[in-house]
Amino acid sequence: MQTYQAPDARGFFGRHGGTYVSETLIPALQELAQAYAEAKQDPAFWAAFRHDLAHYVGRPSPVYHAEHLSRKLGGAQIWLKREDLNHTGAHKVNNTIGQALLAQRMGKKRVIAETGAGQHGVASATVAARFGMACHVYMGADDIRRQAPNVFRMKLLGAQVVSVDSGSRTLKDAMNEAMREWVARVDDTFYIIGTAAGPAPYPEMVRDFQCVIGQEAKEQMLAAIGRQPDVAVACVGGGSNAIGLFYPYIEESGVRLVGVEAGGRGVETPDHAAPISSGAPLGVLHGFRSYLMQDAHGQVLGTHSVSAGLDYPGIGPEHSHLADIGRVEYQAANDDAALEAFDLLCRYEGIIPALESSHALAWAVAEAPKMDKEQVILVNLSGRGDKDINTVAKLKGIEL
Ligand SMILES: Cc1ncc(COP(=O)(O)O)c(C=O)c1O
């Protein structure tokens, strides 16, 4: 295994990451990097972060033994890290609290965000309301349709939702628009990126805010079963919930780490969002270099996933590095497998998971029966599925 690099001074994780933006954005990114470097050294910043995670988000989120589901599958014990129980219903809020505190420290009065599933949009609108900032959320027109409850939630929270009609009308295009807007208004605006992607210092910063997931899980699993799980698994869109779980485990060589990409209709078809599993080449998108779904001319390919939050052609650079050095395995779960796992968790545990998280569950559902009853799989249940009930009903042919 090559050694782990996390990241160098130019924001590269091995050959991935960096800062590929127009000159007009460089001063804004330098200002941000400087502000984050200072905040990172300031115990008061982390005290404020931990305070909000406890008293606003409701952390720590518990780990839960899905005994009934484990028994049904007849193999390894499945445990869930319950990020679905966070205020706003997903892991996204861990990061938005951190970035909002940084925005406040930098004197910014307005935040913008992109969103796919709407969870990051809701989490951004939530912290904007809490910190008294204006908020604009960029969202692809298709996602606005797929995630109507979250769109209404953002509006209730006082945010403006900006519909993006360009390109594939999904997350990729929303992020393009948000970056364009940021260039035009860097003086008063802070761009809250919702995943561990984008130009440096975002991937590192988002990871640092999300790794509370893995830090808690390590303590909780030790307390619950006296050891660490055999496998830790998480779904990967841009990669924030996964890197949040994995990062504290990287040095724990006994813990197998598995990232699950969106296999859509199959990685052998064009309809998926699985850059690493499908062997996509390196490319540049949204200011960073990583594995990227693109054609021979470097044009970004269309993607498909039943879950809006995984419907992204790239992947955070740290994941690409972890794939290169072999520390994390990346596999794909198809739409059908995710939907089956979604149903199983509803029926056997009384928990409605997000469709994104259902991809990580699908891996556990497939692999647990092949493992011993004493073995343990920890699944990051990154969010709850209330936002997805319209999508699931439609797929089942039920009218709500
Ligand atoms: C519940 C949930 N899980 C996972 C994701 C994927 O994002 P990431 O890979 O950054 O964790 C999303 C994105 O919207 C989400 O809402």
pLDDT digits (tens, 9 = 90+) for 322-361: 999 999 999 999 999 999 999 999 999 999 999 999 999 9
Residues of the chain with pLDDT under 50: none
Residue in 81, 82, 88, 92 to alter for ligand 1 test, most ligand atoms within 8 A of Cβ? 92
Q: Is the C-beta atom of 383 inside 6 A of ligand 1?
A: yes
- In which residue are the tokens 């968790």 written? 345
DSSP state of 294: B
Distance of CA 152 to the CA centre of its chain: 21
- Output the pLDDT for position 117: 83
**Cα(68)–Cα(164) distance, integer angstroms:** 43
Active site residue 108: no
- Output the pLDDT for position 257: 98
Q: Is the C-beta atom of 195 inside 6 A of ligand 1?
A: yes
Which residue is closest in CA terms to ligand 1's atom 16?
119
Strands 77-82 and 63-65 come out as antiparallel
pLDDT digits (tens, 9 = 90+) for 14-52: 999 999 999 999 999 999 999 999 999 999 999 999 999
Q: Is the C-beta atom of 210 inside 6 A of ligand 1?
A: no
Decide: pTM greater than 0.85: yes
Which residue is closest in CA terms to ligand 1's atom 6?
237
Active site residue 177: no
Side chain identity at residue 232, one-letter code = A
Atom of ligand 1 nearest to the CA of 239: 9
Residue 23 CB coordination number (10 Å) = 7
- Output the pLDDT for position 323: 98
Report the interhelical angle of 317-324 vs 202-210 (nearest 10°): 80
Element (H or E) spanning 65, and its range? strand 63-65
- Output the pLDDT for position 168: 87
Atom of ligand 1 nearest to the CA of 84: 1
Q: Which residues pair with 289 in a beta bridge?
A: 17, 284
Residues 330/54, Cβ–Cβ less than 8 Å:
no
Q: Which of 81, 92, 172, 218 is catalytic?
A: 92
Q: Which residues pair with 16 in a beta bridge?
A: 13
Residue 174 CB coordination number (10 Å) = 29
List the domains of the chain with CATH numbers: 20-53+92-199 (3.40.50.1100), 58-89+207-395 (3.40.50.1100)
